[in-house]
Amino acid sequence: IVRSSSSAKQSLLRRSFSSSSSSVPERKVAILGAAGGIGQPLALLMKLNPLVSSLSLFDIANTPGVAADVGHINTRSEVVGYMGDDELAKALEGADLVIIPAGVPRKPGMTRDDLFNINAGIVKNLSSAIAKYCPHALVNMISNPVNSTVPIAAEIFKKAGMYDEKKLFGVTTLDVVRAKTFYAGKANVPVAEVNVPVIGGHAGVTILPLFSQATPQANLSADVLTALTKRTQDGGTEVVEAKAGKGSATLSMAYAGALFADACLKGLNGVPDVVECSYVQSTITELPFFASKVRLGKNGVEEVLDLGPLSDFEKEGLEALKPELKSSIEKGVKFANQ
């Protein structure tokens, strides 16, 4: 265990910060995979979040350095680094929110499903530990293939008898971030004002941006909308190819992960009308897990919002994504029950 500074200094810091933020609840956030390409910038961004009082950084290696480094930043949270399985329990105990970017990233030519063999086992072990040490925490799953890792976590939680479907989230925020950026470029509108829901899942054609619902509205041609949809679906691959063997999106993912975690913390704290897209247990289609707009609240998912009106192009996209998403879900469920 590596604390960011001496315990005497820490208790002084705790006192001074707690008096200045007495109306903000204490929240412990744990990042599993915190020394990785996503984990490090995500740790930085969560350290900057005033809703966090305790930041727990877990990885199988290199967390002492990350925790010492991030811990010097003069913001509210206490930072503690934990390394190796022996320290996983302490990393998780008391966590309100667990963010999981642990696992291997893609190289050019791979699909997200090619990561299944390695990452499914990692997610299974980490989910078992969550069930044991922080069964009431919200879980933000980043590790790929998200379409399968979320069902794996759900099955592990069911076996442990603590599954609460309101508390398990696949993080699809990067798809929304990309859709907003690409749409703003084509629609020539200020990117900060753009909203675009993205539904389905998080891999290739299962990523379905609903540009017909994008705001501010713009009259884009069918060809432009098709190209925007394809670019959003291939956004991850665009980064993987540009990084040429050095991994996948890390910085934009850390930004997206921090945005989604902030929304979860706001929901927990009772802020009204917090709505984000996420891949959750769902009944709005026949698929048991599906990404759509979700209202976040004190218990996690407060409401899974329906899809709203879809264009014909989007209706086709919705039908086209179902077989792949269904088989990715089944693959995860089967693995967890082996």
Active site residues: 202
Token pair belonging to 249 = 């999106």
Q: Which of residues 117-156 bind ligand LMR (CB under 6 A)?
A: 144
User: Mapping DSSP to helix (H, G, I), strand (E, B) and coil, where does residue 282 land?
Assistant: coil
Please choose which of ligand LMR, ligand NAD, none residue 38 contacts, taking the beta carbon within 5 to 8 angstroms, the exact cut-off set by kind.
Answer: ligand NAD
Q: Can you tell me which residue has the tokens 């200020």?
A: 190
User: How near is the Cβ of 175 to ligand NAD at its closest, in Å?
Assistant: 7
User: How near is the Cβ of 327 to ligand LMR at its closest, in Å?
Assistant: 18
Q: Which is nearer to ligand LMR, 41 or 236 (CB)?
A: 236
Tell me which residue of 119, 45, 56, 118 sits closest to 83, measured CA to CA. 56
User: How near is the Cβ of 110 to ligand LMR at its closest, in Å?
Assistant: 8
User: How near is the Cβ of 219 to ligand NAD at its closest, in Å?
Assistant: 30
When binding is defined by CB under 6 A, the residue of 92, 97, 239, 263 that contacts ligand LMR is: 239
67-85 exposure pattern, b = at least 16 Cβ within 10 A, e = fewer:
bebbbeeeebbbbbbbbee
Distance CA 182, CA 260 (A): 20
Helix (H) or strand (E) holding 278: strand 274-281
Q: Which is nearer to ligand NAD, 40 or 76 (CB)?
A: 40
Quickly count helices (H) and strands (E) in the chain: 11, 12
Terminal CA-CA length for the chain: 34
When binding is defined by CB under 6 A, the residue of 30, 36, 71, 168 that contacts ligand NAD is: 36
248 binds ligand LMR (CB under 6 A): yes
Distance CA 39, CA 105 (A): 12
- Per-residue binding letters, 63-82, with ligand NAD (x by CB under 6 A): --------------------
235 binds ligand NAD (CB under 6 A): no
Q: Can you tell me which residue has the tokens 């809703």?
A: 51
When binding is defined by CB under 6 A, the residue of 30, 134, 146, 274 that contacts ligand NAD is: 146
The answer to whether the annotation marks 39 as part of a ligand binding site is yes
From 39-47, 193-201, 236-244, 258-266, span contacting ligand LMR (CB under 6 A): 236-244
2-20 exposure pattern, b = at least 16 Cβ within 10 A, e = fewer:
bbbeeeeebeebbeebeee
Tell me which residue of 251, 275, 262 sits closest to 46, measured CA to CA. 262
Binding residues for substrate: 106, 112, 144, 178
Binding residues for NAD(+): 33-39, 59, 119, 142-144, 253
Q: Enumerate binding residues for ligand NAD (CB under 6 A).
A: 32-33, 35-39, 58-61, 101-106, 115, 119, 122, 125-126, 142-144, 146, 171, 174, 202, 247-250, 253
